[in-house]
Amino acid sequence: MPRSLTQITDLTAAEVSRVFDLCAQMKSRKIAPRPLEGKSVACIFTKESLRTRVSFDVGVFELGGHPMYITDREIKLGERESVADAARVLSRYVGMIVIRTFKQSDVDGLAKYASVPVVNGLTDLVHPCQVLGDYFTMLEHLKPSDRYKIAYVGDGNNVTNSWLNLAALIPLDLRIGTAADTHPDPDIIGRAKANPDSKITITDSPDEAVAEADVVYTDVWASTGYKHLAEEKAAKLQEYQLNSALLKKAAPHAIVLHCLPAERGREITDEVMDGPQSVVFDQAENRLHIQKAIMTFLLEQMD
Ligand code: CP
Ligand code: NVA
């Protein structure tokens, strides 16, 4: 079976390091591999996207391949035919499948039945490419540490779950500041807590989460496909807004991350997003480099 990235925990800690090494080499242009030469990549998007859609398109092209953007209007995954049959058919045409969709089970199903690698470009459950790129961004901007203090404030969502997945693999002091009923996935919390080298704190106190943190991270309060919950979420999460007063509680060297798109004035203020500690656009750029590294790594595993 080919290797896929359905969640970060599909990788080992050593493999995550390999992906970061590849990413650094790609970004510095020390290497320019073309493992997709002569191959097409099916990029299936059933949710909106700017960063993921464009960075995969560019990344596939730079790796020598042909990206094919497919929306649910055409294929109706799991509706016109089963996910398993779609996986089998796509594998006869393309060298890789990238998918952004709602259900994690659709990504898992594609990975189970495809004979080519499948890369998760975001589901309701996780966003693995995002958090791998984010950790790479931290490594670029922070002094080396055995265990970074990462504060995530806001909705316990797919990005939060991916931070927990990373904590299951590598040592992190991950503090999640969120409301009582916006917690991340309990099974994923359990797996992260099983790593004795990581420290996982889930707290309703934004101040506790952010205290002396190296990184302060936030994301939209209502995720893509769930914007109808915006007001309800805002009422619950107002005190978790990443503003200057909250950022002052972090370490003085702390960097600010946001996966974007941001809803300025809601989960993050302009002052913080445009302030000197924010590296959100470096973070966005790194999506391109990390995804090229992930695709190259998965194709290496096919040899
Ligand atoms: N961060 C991110 O995945 O952005 P898009 O939703 O625009 O792809
Ligand atoms: N939680 C957000 C992340 C966007 C990159 C969403 O799912 O919309």
With a 6 Å cutoff on the Cβ, whether 286 touches ligand 1 is no
With a 6 Å cutoff on the Cβ, whether 262 touches ligand 2 is no
45-75 pLDDT, tens digit each: 999 999 999 999 999 999 999 999 999 999 9
* Ligand 2 atom nearest residue 225's Cα: 8
* Ligand 1 atom nearest residue 48's Cα: 6
Rg (CA), the chain: 19
For the record, the structure tokens of 21 come out as 């090494």
| d(CA 188, ligand 2 centre) in Å | 18
9-30 pLDDT, tens digit each: 999 999 999 999 999 999 999 9
Does 192 have pLDDT greater than 80? yes
Give dist(CA 182, CA 156) in Å, integer: 5
Using most ligand atoms within 8 A of CB, pick from 49, 55, 224, 237 the residue to mutate for ligand 2: 224
Give the rounded percent of residues in the chain with a pLDDT score beyond 90. 99
Please report the pLDDT score of residue 65 as a whole number. Answer: 98
Does 303 have pLDDT greater than 80? no
Q: Whose CA is nearest to atom 7 of ligand 2?
A: 223
List 225's β-bridge partners, or say none: none
Q: Whose CA is nearest to atom 4 of ligand 1?
A: 51
Please report the pLDDT score of residue 47 as a whole number. Answer: 97
Give all domains of the chain, ordered by start, each with its CATH number: 8-127+284-300 (3.40.50.1370), 130-281 (3.40.50.1370)
Please report the pLDDT score of residue 1 as a whole number. Answer: 86
Give dist(CA 78, CA 84) in Å, integer: 8
With a 6 Å cutoff on the Cβ, whether 219 touches ligand 2 is yes
Q: Residues 175, 152: contact at Cβ < 8 Å?
A: yes
